[in-house]
Structure 1
Amino acid sequence: MNGYGNGNITLRLARDENFEGIWPILRSVIRAGETYAIDPQISRDGAFDLWMQSPRATYVAEVGGEILGTYYIKTNHAGGGAHVCTCDYLVAEAARGQGLAAWMCEHSQAEALKLGYRAMQYNLVLSTNTHAVHLSHKLGFDTVGRLPTAFDHPKMGLIDALVMYKWLEF
């Protein structure tokens, strides 16, 4: 993705002050409770820790200082599993359907390799999130497991979640 609209989009490491632009996107997605297993009532401080402090790296996608998307990379498990990372991605509602999620996912794989990870795993991709499932498959992830009724969706009730995995080393 070389540009967004009439301007150029930048994808870079986030700084703490960027949370002002990340929080509205994060809050909207979390409060809906339809895609992430995060407490919908998480506080702003809790969300800051989750998105900015706990991950190994957090990135923002922006145009002219406006944050349109964000993702983080963190180690999925310690010890013998520390070579596997996980990521979560968010795109502002106004920027959806423009290819930004795909670009961030591709970027995250390259960054993960730079950080020394050898594989990426998504632990809980909701089966009803067909866009995320399709995009993950398109970008080379395999569905390696199905967790029956693992997520209590606010509109659909208990739904399945998928575990998706991709080996990154070539």
Structure 2
Amino acid sequence: MLIREATADDWPAIWPFFHTVVAAGETFPYPVDLGMAEARDWWLLAAPNRTVVAVDDMGTVLGTAKMNRNQPGNAAHVASASYMVDPAYEGRGVGRALCEHTVAWARAAGFRGMQFNAVVETNEHAVALYRSVGFDVIGTVPEGFHHPAKGYVGVHVMYRSL
């Protein structure tokens, strides 16, 4: 698996699984009816932020991550990231590789920490993955996310020092 910079040419490969994940309404706080053009603008970030794709030997996009500062100004020393893996490739280490890549990027870029603002507590696989790479739940917003099947569930804020 190779992780490389995403380009506008990657968007047609990202969009189908991005749309599937967002439309399910279970893990991202994006509008479930988010359109392709708006989604592209939200996901493909301009420098100094980054968006990457994980690809296999054939160039198939398996997943993607975006990295950015969590806040501007005097809080710009904390990074953030978001991840999406094509459901067809779940369980193959794509999410872990992307997460480890973003942590390494944030450290190399001089960030002092990394924070995830909205990890849905029922997304147990993601919570376990983030814990395994050093993130802790530092707070939970009770009923901060309206899950389509489980109703109102908590949203974790997760953090790790770099």
Matches within 5 A, 1:27-106: 27-53=19-45, 56-63=49-56, 64-106=58-100
TM-score normalised over the length of structure 2 = 0.95
How many Å separate the matches in 2 of 1:22 and 1:105?
17
Distance, in Å, in 2 between the alignment partners of 1:54 and 1:121 is 20
TM-score normalized by the length of structure 1: 0.91
Q: For 1:115 and 1:30, how far apart are their aligned partners in 2?
A: 29
The count of residues paired between Structure 1 and Structure 2 equals 160
Q: SS of the counterpart of 1:53?
A: coil
Aligned to 2:115: 121
Equivalent of residue 12 in structure 2, options 20, 31, 38: 20
Offset from partner CA, 1:113-139 (integer Å, 9 cap, x none) = 222322110101111011011111111
Return the offset for 1:54. Answer: 5.8
8 Å Cα contact 1:54/1:74 also seen in 2? no
Q: Distance in 2 between matches of 1:66 and 1:59?
A: 13
CA–CA distance in structure 1, aligned partners of residues 125 and 46 of structure 2: 26
CA root-mean-square deviation = 1.1
C-alpha distance in 1, partners of 2:108/2:19?
30
Question: What is the letter of the counterpart of residue 78 of structure 2?
Answer: V
Kindly state the Cα deviation for residue 104 of structure 1 after the two structures are TM-superposed: 0.8
The residue matched to 1:72 in structure 2 has which SS? Answer: strand
Q: Hey, what does 2:105 align to over in structure 1?
A: 111
In the TM superposition, structure 1's runs of 4+ consecutive aligned residues that sit over 3 Å from their partners are: none
How far apart are the structure 1 equivalents of 2:155 and 2:60?
32
- Equivalent position SS for 2:146: strand
CA distance in 2, matches of 1:121, 1:87: 8
The equivalent of 1:11 in structure 2 is 3
- Contact 1:72/1:88 (<8 A) preserved: yes
**Structure 1: runs of 5+ lacking an equivalent:** 1-8
1:62 and 1:142 map into 2 onto residues whose CA distance is 29
Cα deviation 1:143-167 (Å, max 9, x = unaligned): 1001000001111110011100011
Task: For residue 122 of structure 1, give the secondary structure of its aligned residue in structure 2.
Answer: strand
Shift of 1:83: 0.7
Unaligned segments of structure 2, at least 5 residues: none
